[in-house]
Amino acid sequence: MKFQPIHRSRIVAALQEAGPMTLQEIAEYLDLSKGIVGGCIASTRWLMPQQVFRIVRHQPVTGHRGRDLAVYAAEAGADSAHYVNRAKRRKQAEARYREKHRASINARGRTKATATENPWLQLAPPEIRGAMALQGRT
């Protein structure tokens, strides 16, 4: 796929006008596909390294798994350093898991708490369960 210089000039103009943006934001801003924008930026960065586009920061992905999103600017220079705090990232992933699976985690906790009591108690008629529960404790 060959990228036309018109795309590059439109992307540069959009970044100068609106400031640094991610690929998705650039694509929405210019009403182009994400593939065209990504390919144009990638080929320009490969053909003219550190001359047209640079990564100014990385934006963390929220709500799902994935790499951090690069935020591009139309300026010359080296890319900014990308540091990932793995412990913080792991905590966020565990929090998402707990939120998503809260019902099953709570159910597991309830079954473990009642496991020490009489397992046949749930089969008894409701009117005699209280007496059976008291009988097992004494």
Q: How far apart are CA 68 and CA 66, in angstroms?
A: 7
**pLDDT, tens digit only, all 138 positions of the chain:** 555 778 899 999 999 999 999 999 999 999 999 999 999 999 999 998 989 999 999 988 876 777 889 999 999 999 988 888 889 888 988 888 888 888 887 777 666 555 556 667 778 788 887 777 776 565
CATH number, position 27: 1.10.10.10
19 and 60 co-located in one domain: yes
Domain membership flag for residue 138: no
Alpha-carbon distances, residue 106 vs 36, 63, 110, 119 (angstroms): 46, 22, 6, 19
φ and ψ at residue 10, rounded to 5 degrees: -65, -40
Query: Is the distance from CB of 82 to CB of 58 less than 8 angstroms?
Result: yes
26 and 64 co-located in one domain: yes
Domain membership flag for residue 67: yes
Domain membership flag for residue 137: no
Whole-model pTM: value is: 0.62
